[in-house]
Structure 1
Amino acid sequence: MNSITTQVLKLFLLLATLTCLSACNVTHFEKNNAISLAQKGELTSARTAIKRHYSSQGKNRLLYHLELATYFQLEKDYQQSNKHLTHAKDLLESFYTVSLSETALSQFSGPTYTTFHGQRYYRPLLHVMKALNYNALAIAQPENRPALQDSALVEMRQLNLYLEALTDETGGYNPSVNDKLTNQIYAILKPILAPKALLSNIDYRDDAFAHYLSGVINEQNGELDSARLQYQRAASAYENGFAEQYQLPPDTTKQAYNNLARVMTKSGGYEIELERLKGKIDPQQQNHLSQLTVIQNIGVAPQRKQFNLVLTADHDSKALVMTPIPFGTHAERQAQIQWFQMLFADTSIFDMIQNYTMGDSSDVALGFVTKRLPLGGLWDNAKKVGLIDALQYGARISVTYLAPPKERIKSTEIWVNGQKHSQLHPFHSIELLTVQNALKNANTEIQLALTREIVKAISAQKLLQKTGLQQHEVFGSLAKFATSAVNAVTAAADTRQWQSLPAQIRVAQIPLPTGEHNIIIKTQLNSGRVINQTEQVNVSGQMSLWQTRTFIDAPPQSKSSTSSSIFNLD
């Protein structure tokens, strides 16, 4: 077939890919509108959407339970919430070993056809949710209070064991594949897409906020020694990197040390340790008053979206070339290009020299919008396994990306009985945690996506050879074009996630005398909008806790706060 016809078929393939993108580039987040309903205060409709979109027995069963647990908690149905959280915890434990059959399936059909296994940072959040639910039930059911408080403490012990194991780990989890062809392709691509320096020091190594809240729950249940250990771990983690990694203010670390000092003072016998803490704590903290802990879950964690590239083979420079195909709104296209340039584009001095020596000067300029994978001596191996021939018309590669986080909150203030009291400070950024987790997994994800699409293309080529069409000049090229088009349409990235998680968690701990107090949280957005959330708090014990959810994208006329809970413990 002549070169003109080949170019025409390549153009048709590109048009087919773009047509597919316009129809099927809808993200998992957009298909499931539950969070949009929740932001309007329509929690029952949100749960209905979850049940319609997921199955309790299907490949998304983990998300089924996680999402329903969140919405039941917002509705203050804590028993149902914990029921689903228990199912979710059991599933996470059962997913420890990845099924080889599912791994093989993902290599040929894509990750969206396999069971969603979640992220490693889901587990601490799950334990925290369960413990808070048990605390709420302890207030609602005084006759069962001791047993429910014990259950909350059990969750904190399990959380501690998980975090200890997490901090002891030295490496991540990589899915193994036993298929010979897949291993060959992966081996060719792996040394080319090595992680860059920007991906260092963004591992999820510990969870300072989970330790902190564990300290609060242990303290309010009278477990002062356990509370002291958890506050110590929280303060140490915040001080030694957690706060810096997730861009948290110094007030966060100071509050953790304040809590540590308060528990030491309550317990007695820690005079030497308290002396060492001077300079790290607020000497004016009022230990004789009851403490109200306010936890504000703000916004929605960033959504995972699909990002598409085309992979072709350059015979002249013996290289594979990845070219992004931005799609969507102007902001989405910009985010896709920025993600590509940050992680994959040939922007380093080494990459530019490689492009210059392997091709011509135009490759150097194109390096900012393409990724060239010089195979060098691996080119012959790539030809031998059929990789180069399989890319005659290119292959569509789909991976995930996240839009860069935007600071939308100017401040969050606490007003007590009509008077401004203090600020709520960020104690955890699930938004940054989600983005960093995606960055850390980006290279592995694109290696697997490249491997998967190439294996699919080579497998199709071998099938054509068996049919005999491969030998016919016209029909053989048309058949190869058709298989490339089918593979382009079926390629998809895994955008599944726990969508109802907040973007940020803010905390304040304020000393108050016993009695009724009118508490208002005023969330001031950079847009100028102010969201007010009010609760009458009856402070009757040493420790009280108010947890609330603030949806900042909710329409002004809807309920921005869908739930708040008061837990007063003696």
Structure 2
Amino acid sequence: MINLRTYILQASSVIGLMFLLSGCASYNDRILPYYKNVSAGNYKAAETELDKNSLIQKPRNKLLYLMEKGRIAHLNGDYQNSNKYFNDADQMLDQGLTSATDEAVGVLVNPMEQRYKGEDFEKFMIHYYKALNYQYLHNTEDAIVEARRITLQAQEQGDKFNNKEKRYSNDAFSLMLQGMLYESNNDVNNAFISYRNAAEIYLAAPDKTYYGTTMPLGLQEDVIRTALLNGFTTEADQFEKTFGISYEPQKPAEGGELIFFWENGRAPVKTQVDLFFSLIRNNNGDLFFTDAAGGLVIPFNYGGDRNRVNLKSFESLRVAWPKYIAQTPFYSSAVITSNQDKIPFEKAEDINELAFKTLQQRTLNEMGKVLSRLAVKKIAEYSVRASAKSDGKTNSLLEGLGYGIQLYSLLSEKADTRNWQTLPANISYARIPLQKGENQITLTLKNSRGADETKTITVNGTGRLQFYNYSTLR
């Protein structure tokens, strides 16, 4: 009769093969048909793929589903339904996605099985698309509400990190957008405050660069321009000196202005990498995890008897960790032509840089949680094995259970490779003066083969500030 230990060892090869074939697939791998259709501009087909995908339909992925549904509806020009999905996503975030049960899932299984809570920059991007949707629906009042919600999101971020330096605790682009929204509602006082707040984020950063984005000249001019419109001449003079520019006020265009957002490329995707750690003990008996190169040293806050922890059991602890992979954009540059004038784009948001840097910022904290989870499983495994061999006898049931815990630990370890993948890699913008009446706006894109592609849109100059966004998600 095969004992439990032998049975588990025999079964492990079969289960391991199943794990390699399905368990190692990343989130991107499992939604690839949807993602490919979005990249190809087949938005209707993409929506069909999204609705039939079993992974994103799971309750733990509801926030991701709502963000993707809102995005694809926006791309389809269905702004009403787009905001329905984004509002539902907003509501989920407001109610909170953390619970004791969900935390236990993260400890006992892996973070991929927890509810997706959204990256911090993804939460700001919800406000960006909601505000544009409201603008396109001519719902200025709700667009302004969304502008105010950007401030609340920024405050929440600041509280989360206690305003620590070198952490993503605000979003300069969102504050720029907030200023534009206020300006579109002729609220130049709040517009100035928003532009100033955005500028101060850049000024506090090295070389006036914030997460891969240098302070746009357009933002500098907006700060000074709105300061002068408010009669804040002293502030305007001070910002001229701070920015090192000489600003000459321009006569407002009769047809108003168009702010053109170019959303280029695809956000990075997450994959899984394996890292290996050992457990060490210092002279005080404290326990620390360290990687092979010794570059990471992470405390292990163990509540049990530290002296009884067998360090040999932790000589090669495998950690499944997420890693971003950047997607090379098909288009390298673009320029706007309007009324014979060429207007360059300025980068306003670098989502690629945000993704890589914010993951790096939280590595030590989250790595500590992962290692502690694995260590607890390992301690449980060896405790059961030790109990199986008491009094010189071997308890096959307990020994088999120990190997079962080992196998479960191996197969359940998985990195969280989820993210909002239809976001662009970066967003650039141009402010375009309009003539009264019909305006022909031409966008010229340079593709990876060095050839130019053009798109022309017609904008009716109304004397007001208008918005337009265009996505090239290849």
User: Does the C-alpha gap of structure 1 residues 474 and 396 become closer, same or farther in structure 2, counting only changes over 3 Å?
Assistant: farther
In structure 2, the partner of 1:255 is: 218
- The answer to whether 1:518 aligns with 2:440 is yes
- TM-superposed CA distance for 1:466, in Å, is 6.0
2:186 is the alignment partner of 1:222: yes
In structure 2, C-alpha distance between the alignment counterparts of 1:427 and 1:282, rounded to whole Å:
22
Moved more, 476-485 or 201-210: 476-485
Relative to structure 1, the CA distance from residue 372 to residue 205 in structure 2 (aligned partners, 3 Å threshold; closer, same or farther) is closer
Deviations 1:410-458 (A, max 9, x none): 43211225x4612111111111111111101112222222221222233
State the partner residue of 1:175.
Answer: none
8 Å CA contact retained: 1:134, 1:151? yes
Q: Over aligned residue pairs, what C-alpha RMSD do you find?
A: 3.7
SS in 2 for 1:402: strand
Q: What's 2:170 paired with?
A: 206
Residues of 1 paired with 2:294 and 2:268: CA distance? 27
Larger deviation, residues 202-211 vs 66-75: 202-211
Is 1:498 the counterpart of 2:425? The answer is no
Residues 98-497 of structure 1: pairs in structure 2 closer than 5 A: 98-138=98-138, 148-167=139-158, 170-171=161-162, 202-241=166-205, 243-250=208-215, 252=216, 254-267=217-230, 269-278=231-240, 280=243, 281=245, 283-284=247-248, 286-289=250-253, 290-311=256-277, 345-346=293-294, 381-382=305-306, 384-385=308-309, 388=311, 390-391=313-314, 395-403=317-325, 410-417=332-339, 419=340, 421-464=342-385, 471-472=393-394, 480-481=402-403, 483-497=405-419
Alignment partners' CA distance in 1, 2:465 and 2:111: 46
User: Matched residue of 2:168: which SS?
Assistant: coil
Cα distance, 1:531 vs structure 2: 4.3
Residue 153 of structure 1: how far off its partner (Å): 0.7
Question: What is the rounded CA distance, in whole Å, between the counterparts of 1:504 and 1:237 in structure 2?
Answer: 18
In 2, distance between residues paired with 1:153 and 1:72?
Answer: 21
Q: CA deviation at 1:525?
A: 4.5
Task: Give the equivalent residue in structure 2 for 1:543.
Answer: 465
Matched, 1:31 2:22: no
The alignment partner of 2:129 has SS state of: helix
User: What CA distance in whole angstroms lies between the structure 2 residues aligned with 1:529 and 1:107?
Assistant: 52
Deviations 1:211-238 (A, max 9, x none): 1111111111122221121111122222
Aligned position for 1:75 = 76
Shift of 1:461: 3.7
Structure 2 Cα separation of the partners of residues 374 and 263 of structure 1: 50
| DSSP 3-state at the match of 1:121 | helix
CA offset digits 1:165-187 (Å, max 9, x no partner): 43355449xxxxxxxxxxxxxxx
Task: Quote the Cα distance in structure 2 between the aligned partners of 1:168 and 1:322.
Answer: 31
How far is 1:291 from its partner? Answer: 1.8
8 Å CA contact retained: 2:224, 2:247? no
Paired AA for residue 258 in structure 2: L
Helix, strand or coil for the counterpart of 1:278? Answer: helix
Structure 1: which 5+ runs fail to align?
A: 1-9, 139-147, 173-199, 324-343, 348-370, 554-570
Identity %: 22
Three-state SS of the structure 1 residue aligned to 2:59 is coil
Q: 1: distance between equivalents of 2:17 and 2:39?
A: 33
Count the aligned residue pairs.
Answer: 453
1:497 and 1:444 map into 2 onto residues whose CA distance is 19
Give the C-alpha shift of residue 511 in structure 1: 2.0
Inter-CA distance 390–472: structure 2 relative to 1 (3 Å threshold): farther
Pairwise CA distance, 1:475: 9.2
TM-aligned CA deviation for residue 94 of structure 1: 1.4
Residues 266-286 of structure 1: per-residue CA shift (max 9 Å, x gap)? 44x333333334354563553
Please list every run of 5 or more consecutive structure 2 residues that lacks an aligned counterpart in the other structure.
1-8
Residue type matched to 2:234 in 1? I
- Whether the 8 Å CA contact 1:396–1:487 is kept in 2: the answer is no
Structure 1 residues 232, 31: closer, same or farther in 2, change over 3 A?
A: same
Query: Separation in 1 of the partners of 2:452 and 2:246?
Result: 30
SS at match of 1:547: strand
Equivalent residues of 1:415, 1:519 under 8 A apart: yes
Contact 1:291/1:544, CA 8 A, preserved across alignment? yes
Q: Is this contact kept in 1: 2:110–2:415, CA < 8 A?
A: yes
What is the CA–CA distance in structure 2 between the aligned matches of 1:529 and 1:476, rounded to whole Å?
A: 68
User: Any idea what SS the aligned residue of 1:60 has?
Assistant: helix
> Counterparts of 2:441 and 2:298 in 1: how far apart (Å)?
59
Is 2:196–2:223's contact at 8 Å kept on the other side of the alignment? yes
Distance 1:238 1:374 in 2: 34
Describe the SS at the equivalent of 2:60: coil
2: CA distance, partners of 1:87 / 1:374: 39
Q: 1:494 to 1:466 in 2, by over 3 A?
A: same
- Describe how 1:34-113 pairs up with structure 2 within 5 A: 34-53=34-53, 58-95=59-96, 98-113=98-113
CA distance 1:467–1:534, shift in 2 (3 Å): farther
Asked if 1:532 corresponds to 2:454, the answer is: yes
Q: What is the one-letter code of the residue matched to 1:48? A: T
The letter of the residue matching 1:249 is T
The residue that corresponds to 2:3 in the other structure is none
* Structure 1 letter corresponding to 2:188: L
Q: Specify the SS of the correspondent of 1:156.
A: helix
Q: CA deviation at 1:476?
A: 7.8
Q: Which residue identity is paired with 1:246?
A: Y
Residues 538 and 373 (structure 1 numbering): CA distance in 2 closer, same or farther, change over 3 Å?
Answer: closer
Alpha-carbon separation, structure 1, partners of 2:289 and 2:132: 51
In structure 1, give the amino acid aligned to 2:257.
Q
Q: How far has the Cα of 1:14 moved from its partner?
A: 11
Residues 1:274 and 1:71: Cα distance change in structure 2 (over 3 Å): same
Separation (CA, whole Å) in 1 of partners of 2:40 and 2:109:
37
Alpha-carbon contact 1:395-1:484 (below 8 Å) kept? no
What SS class does the counterpart of residue 154 from structure 2 fall into?
helix
